[in-house]
Amino acid sequence: MRHDHLIGANQLSRADIEAVLDRAAEIDADPSAFADAHPDALLGLCFFEPSTRTRMSFDTAIKRLGGDSVDMGTVESSSVKKGESLADTVRVIAGYTDGIVLRHPSEGAATMAAEFVDVPVINAGDGAGQHPTQTLLDLYTIRENAGLDDLTVGVMGDLKYGRTVHSLAAALTTFDARMHFVSPESLRLPRNVRFDLHESGAVVKEHTDLDDVLGELDVLYVTRIQRERFPDENEYREVAGEYRIDADALDAARDDLTVMHPLPRVDEIASNVDETDHAHYFEQAHNGVPVRMALLDSML
Amino acid sequence: MTDKQLRVSKIENGTVIDHVPGGQALNVLAIVGIDGSGGEQVSVGMNVPSDRLGRKDVVKIEDRELSPEEVDVLSLIAPRATINIVREYEVSEKLRVSRPERVVGVLSCPNANCITTEEEPVESSFEVLSDGVRCGYCDTIVRDEIADLIDND
Ligand SMILES: [Zn+2]
C-alpha cells in the first residue's frame, strides 16, 4: 500500500484492500514466519477514548511482528487533561515512535494529526467519522465466509453515527456489492456517506424494516443503537427493540447468511444467535490481529 | 446627499462588488474580512432594483483591491457578482467570480464535533462541490446554508 497514512476507507482501492487481506491470510496461516518482520518498530498508541479490542489488537499485532508499543495511557492520566492540543500531543509522540494509532472523539482528528507528523498515522476511530482498520478486518471476514464478489450486504443499526458503517460502505463501493441499509428514520446514513455512495454508482437501498431484505442477504452487519442518540429512555427502547435479531428471526434468512458485528454488542444480537452457523462476530474480532499485522507490515 | 447620489457615487480607489444577491452584502463583507474595525471606508447599497436579479446589493470598498482568490470565495454566496477594481475613478480591471476548488479559513464547520471547532492550530478547509461545500476534516456537507458558516472572528 503506498499511503503514508490510513485515515479513511475511501482512500483505499480494491488492490490496496486485497493486498492487505492476502497478506493477512499469509500471516493467519503461519504467524511465526512474521515474528521478526519489524524488530525495531515502535508503535505509539494514542487512545483519547476508551477502547479494549482495538487497542489490544494493535498492541498484539506490533508485538507479533517483533516490534513494540508505547501507550499514552488514559486521557485522565495524561497531559491532555492539562489542556494540551492534539496537534502537540501527536508531534511529541511522533518524535518517539515509527507510527501512531489514533482514536479520538472528534471527527477529522486523524486527518488533522496527519498534517503535523511525519510518521504514518492510522485512524482507529474519529468520532462518528471513520474506522478503516475495522473495515479491513470486516472485509477479511466477509471474504472468508461469503466472498467479495457478487455480494449482497445488509447493514443495520445506527448508520448515522456508526463509524464502522461509514468505512465499510466506502470500502464496499470498490467491490461488486449490493448494499441495503436498515435503520430507524432518525439514524439513516449521513449526507456525506450517501453522497459518496451515489457518486460511486453503487447499488444502494435504504429500509426501515429488516424483513424487507433479510432473505436476500449474504451478510448482515449489525451495529449497536446507543441510548444517548435518543431524547428519552422510552423512545430508545421502542426504536432499538425493532433492530434486534435473535435465532428465530434468522429463520427467514438464507442458510449461509453471515452475521457480523464490530462488538461490543449489548442485546442487539441475542445470545441464542451465537450457537447458530450464522454467528461470525467472534471470528471477526479474532481477525483483528492478523489484519492489523498485515496493515502495519505494509506501512511501517 | 440623496439616495441616488449614495448609490452611484464613485470611489477614487478600491473595489466595487456589484450584482450581489439582495441581502448578502454583509456576508460579502464578512467573507473579505471587513467589519469596520480596520477603518476602511465602505458603502453598501441593499436591495437596489436590478434587471438581472430583481433586487441586488452593491458593496464599495475604498482603498482596497480584492485579490482574485478573495473574489473566488465570493462565488459561494454571490455566484453572479461582478467586481470592478477602481483606480483614480476609472474602472481599471473587471473580475468575474469563479468557483475555487477549496476555501480555507473563511467558513467555520457547522459540526460541533469537528476537530476544527476545537482549540487546535488548524484553519477550516472546505472542498467546493457543484452544489455546496464539504469539510476537509469531518466530511460534513453543507448545501443551502453556506452563508451561515461565514466565520466572523
Ligand atoms: Zn468539519
Nearest to A68 by CA among A32, A104, A40, A95: A40
Nearest to A150 by CA among A177, A112, A124: A177
Radius of gyration (Cα) for chain A, nearest Å?
19
User: What pLDDT score does A229 carry?
Assistant: 85
What's the rounded mean pLDDT across residues B9-16? 88
Ligand 1 (ion): residues with CB under 5 Å are B 109, 111, 114, 135, 137-138, 140
- Given pLDDT bands bounded at 50, 70 and 90, which one contains residue B5? very low
* Chain A partners within 8 Å of B125 (Cβ): none
Q: Is B141 on the interface with A (CB under 8 A)?
A: yes
Q: Mean pLDDT, consecutive 10-residue segments, chain A of 300 residues?
A: 85 97 97 95 95 95 98 76 87 96 97 97 97 98 96 97 97 97 96 96 96 98 91 89 96 97 94 97 96 97
Alpha helix stretches (DSSP H) within chain A: 14-29, 53-64, 86-96, 109-116, 132-145, 163-172, 191-200, 233-241, 281-286, 288-299
CB–CB contact A112 B116 (8 Å)? yes
User: What pLDDT score does B91 carry?
Assistant: 93
Task: For B56-112, write each residue's pLDDT tens digit.
Answer: 999 999 999 988 888 888 988 898 999 999 999 999 999 888 889 999 988 999 999
Q: Is B135 on the interface with A (CB under 8 A)?
A: yes
Instruction: Report how far ligand 1's centroid is from the alpha carbon of A122 (Å).
Output: 19
A103 carries an active-site annotation = yes
- Given pLDDT bands bounded at 50, 70 and 90, which one contains residue B153? low
A131 carries an active-site annotation = yes
- Given pLDDT bands bounded at 50, 70 and 90, which one contains residue B3? very low
Mutate to test the interface with B, among A7, A10, A107 (most CBs of B within 10 A): A107
Q: Is B50 on the interface with A (CB under 8 A)?
A: no
Inter-residue contact A181 to A159 (CB < 8 Å): yes
CB–CB contact A107 B118 (8 Å)? no
Task: For B27-66, write each residue's pLDDT tens digit.
Answer: 999 888 888 888 889 999 999 998 887 899 999 999 999 8
User: What pLDDT score does B1 carry?
Assistant: 42
In whole angstroms, what is the distance from residue B50 CA to residue A236 CA? 53
User: What pLDDT score does B152 carry?
Assistant: 65
Cell of A158: 445506527
> What 8-state DSSP symbol labels residue B146?
G
- Given pLDDT bands bounded at 50, 70 and 90, which one contains residue B2? very low
Q: Which residue among A83, A87, A192 sits closest to B140, beta carbon to beta carbon?
A: A192
Q: Which residue among A85, A115, A129 sits closest to B139, beta carbon to beta carbon?
A: A129
Q: Which residue among B116, B121, B141 sits closest to A108, beta carbon to beta carbon?
A: B116
Nearest to B152 by CA among B16, B37, B1, B14: B37
Radius of gyration (Cα) for chain B, nearest Å?
16
Instruction: Report how far ligand 1's centroid is from the alpha carbon of A86 (Å).
Output: 16
**Which residues are bridge partners to B16 per DSSP?**
B60, B84
Q: Which residue among A87, A108, A128 sits closest to B137, beta carbon to beta carbon?
A: A108
Say what angle helices A53-64 and A288-299 make with each other, to 10 degrees: 60
Active-site residue, from A23, A55, A64, A103? A103
User: What pLDDT score does B52 carry?
Assistant: 80
Cell of B74: 465570493
Q: Which B-chain residues 83-112 have CB contacts (< 8 A) with chain A?
A: 111
User: What pLDDT score does A223 carry?
Assistant: 97
In whole angstroms, what is the distance from residue A101 CA to residue A71 CA? 10
Active-site residue, from A3, A14, A52, A53? A53
A53 carries an active-site annotation = yes
A54 carries an active-site annotation = yes
User: What pLDDT score does A79 carry?
Assistant: 65
Predicted complex ipTM: 0.93
